[in-house]
Amino acid sequence: MQDAWRAYLGLAMGLTEAPRKKAQEVVRRVVGSGEATATQLQALAEELVSTGAANREALTKLVRFEVDRALGTVGLATADEVAELTRRVHELERQLREARAGLAEPAPQPAGAPGGSQPSSPPASSPTPVAKKAVAKKAVATE
């Protein structure tokens, strides 16, 4: 894997080094001839800037492609996949909250349903004996 990275870095350096050497050579030649006009130097500068931008863009695309390929091999999710899964989780959480709120509220019963308006009474069972309270006896005071 490191050899591949070294090869890519070598290619990237080549993308920037070759235009730089070419530009330096052209500038030396133009300046050395003494016939360079302002318009020619301006055009040369614009070409150098354009070439540099194109090289940076090519290098960026190359690196992105390789990173995407490496991440695909490893099996990591992309940012778009993570965003979609996050959206789905939020939607499911919202649905769960609504479902729980629906369970907390009793469902309204129709008016004609048995036991609809009357509270239900506990089933009949044998009567439980009621405990009687003991009455305290008063002592008679004698003098």
The domain limits of the chain are 2-76
Distance of CA 77 to the CA centre of its chain: 11
Q: What angle do CA 45, 49, 52 make, to 5 degrees?
A: 135
The pLDDT tens digits of the residues spanning 10-40 come to 666 665 566 667 767 776 777 677 766 777 7
Contacts of 126 (CB under 8 A, 6+ apart): none
Check residue 98 and give its pLDDT: 95
- Residue at 84: amino acid letter: E
The pLDDT tens digits of the residues spanning 45-60 come to 788 778 888 888 998 9
Mean pLDDT rounded to a whole number for the chain = 74
Question: What tokens were used for 83?
Answer: 């965003």
Is the pLDDT score of 119 beyond 80? no
Check residue 50 and give its pLDDT: 84
DSSP string for 75-139: TPPPHHHHHHHHHHHHHHHHHHHHHHHHHHSPPPPPTTSTTSSSPPPPPP-PPPPPPPPPPPPPP
For residues 63 and 13, the answer to whether their CB atoms sit within 8 Å is: no
Check residue 77 and give its pLDDT: 83
